[in-house]
Amino acid sequence: MPSAHVFIATSLDGYIARKDDDIDWLTSFSSLGEDHGYNAHIAKMDGIIMGRGTYEKVVTFDQWYYEKPVLVVSRSLDPASVPDHLKDKVEVIAATPEGAMDLAASRGWQRIYADGGKLIQSFLRAGLIEDMIVSRIPILLGDGIPLFGPLDQDIALDHIETKSFPSGLVQSHYRIKR
């Protein structure tokens, strides 16, 4: 089975987006030019498994930022809805977390970037996440879409490292205890 890895940013109070899916607070922060390690992280991945909500947001951007192949997990999106310019880069699948990982394994993927709040939550509940790099942006939103949701049981983590950046971003790397 391949391993799934998270690299995500939240507001200081734990939100990945505003209630209306707005992430301008994040995109304006990431345009400051600091290297927070995303490129090094993605370079180690064979592919991306992304949730529907994240896909629906990033597909509206002026450009497609992903060079790795992307599997979008959704039971509501029509696979034929993928724009023509992304047909060779994106595939929509209706799958469980385990089913998505099995498909990735059948394609020879060993390391997978798991992206999207609800997808990450479902992968955590299924025990599929190996480690998480969570960057906290120095902003309080007060409300929004949380990174983490309800769990059936506690998930213990080993702290690997924490870095801070001149912009105020604080990034922590955790491994899931097995």
**Residue 161 phi/psi, 5° resolution?**
-165, 160
| Across 136-154, average pLDDT | 94
- The predicted-structure confidence for 80-117, as pLDDT tens digits, reads as follows 999 999 999 999 999 999 999 999 999 999 999 999 99
In a domain, 164, yes or no: no
In a domain, 53, yes or no: yes
Alpha-carbon gap, residue 29 to 138, rounded angstroms? 9
Q: What is the CATH number of the domain that holds 132?
A: 3.40.430.10
- pLDDT above 80 (res 30): no
Please state the pTM of the whole predicted model: 0.94
In a domain, 27, yes or no: yes
Q: How many domains does the chain have?
A: 1
Q: Which residue segment(s) compose the domain that 130 sits in? A: 3-147
* Percent of the chain at pLDDT exceeding 70: 99
In a domain, 159, yes or no: no
The strand ranges marked E within the chain are 3-11, 15-17, 47-51, 70-73, 90-93, 111-115, 129-137, 145-146, 157-164, 170-176
In a domain, 115, yes or no: yes
In a domain, 157, yes or no: no
- pLDDT above 90 (res 27): no
The model's confidence at residue 127, banded by pLDDT at 50, 70 and 90, is very high
Of the two residues 154 and 28, the one the predictor is more confident about is 154
- pLDDT above 70 (res 31): no
The model's confidence at residue 34, banded by pLDDT at 50, 70 and 90, is confident
**Residue 5 phi/psi, 5° resolution?**
-130, 140
In a domain, 172, yes or no: no
pLDDT at res. 9: 96
45: which 2 tokens? 């991945």
In a domain, 170, yes or no: no
